[in-house]
């Protein structure tokens, strides 16, 4: 597998999300991420999603997985925006709810880093401990951007 080039993590309103695969996808909300991760990374080392696990989740139904990925790519930016708003407004229940939704959304893809960050954020919301949410948010947004970009560009249909 060739190395994976991650997209610049600036997801913009109705503008397209740019990535190296050349494709674009509409994104309903503006999400500003804190850094540009436009760098080469060996895919084998730092892949954000386990496509084999995702295929096991859907019992190897690739057509269904393609539909689910499409839904994920449509819904994930909105959930991230909800989380970002909840963090800004110090809304503990909103943080908990949005983070919980995000955690569930990546569960089937076995996106462990994203799942773990969402679980951590959910825990902070549940505990009402909002002092750390602003620090955690950029890392979470970045990881979910990696998941979205990977699912857009990954040649997962050929995966075993």
Partner 1 sequence: MTKVVVADDDRMFRKAAETTLRRQGYGVATASDGEEALQLIRSERPDIIVLDLIMPKLQGFDVLRILKQDTLTSAIPVIVLSSLTQEQDKQEALDLGAVAYFNKAAFSLGELVKQVESTLTKGQEPCPS
When asked if residue 81 is in the footprint of partner 1 (CB under 8 A), the reply is no
Report the C-alpha gap between 30 and 19 in whole angstroms: 17
> What is the token pair recorded at 132?
């750390």
Question: From the CB of 112, what's the least distance to partner 1, in Å?
Answer: 9
Report the C-alpha gap between 38 and 41 in whole angstroms: 9
Nearer to partner 1, 101 or 149 (CB): 101
* Binding piece for partner 1, criterion CB under 8 A, among 14-22, 30-38, 55-63, 145-153: 55-63
Report the C-alpha gap between 105 and 23 in whole angstroms: 22
Question: From the CB of 22, what's the least distance to partner 1, in Å?
Answer: 25
When asked if residue 105 is in the footprint of partner 1 (CB under 8 A), the reply is yes
Binding partner 1 (rule: CB under 8 A), the pick from 3, 104, 127, 128 is: 104
Nearer to partner 1, 4 or 150 (CB): 150
Query: In whole angstroms, how far apart are CA 79 and each of 19, 39, 155?
Result: 21, 26, 25
Residues 6+ apart with CB under 8 A from 76: 102, 105, 144, 147, 148
Instruction: List 11's β-bridge partners, or say none.
Output: 31
Question: Rule CB under 8 A: which of 120-159 touch partner 1?
Answer: none
Contacts with partner 1 by CB under 8 A lie at 56-59, 61, 64, 67-68, 71-72, 75, 97, 100-101, 103-105, 107-108, 110, 115, 119
């Amino acid at each position: 597998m060739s190395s994976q080039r991650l997209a610049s993590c600036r997801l913009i309103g109705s503008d397209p999300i740019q990535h190296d695969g050349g494709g674009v996808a509409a994104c309903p909300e503006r999400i500003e991420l804190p850094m540009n991760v436009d760098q080469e990374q060996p895919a084998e080392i730092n892949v954000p999603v386990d496509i084999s696990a995702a295929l096991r989740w859907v019992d190897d139904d690739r057509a269904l997985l393609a539909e689910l990925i499409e839904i994920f790519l449509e819904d994930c930016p909105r959930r991230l925006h909800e989380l970002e708003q909840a963090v800004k407004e110090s809304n503990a229940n909103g943080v908990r709810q949005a983070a919980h939704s995000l955690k569930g959304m990546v569960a089937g893809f076995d996106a462990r880093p994203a799942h773990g960050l969402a679980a951590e954020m959910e825990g902070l919301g549940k505990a009402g401990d909002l002092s750390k949410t602003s620090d955690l948010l950029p890392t979470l947004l970045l990881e979910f951007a990696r998941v979205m970009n990977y699912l857009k560009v990954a040649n997962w249909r050929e995966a075993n």
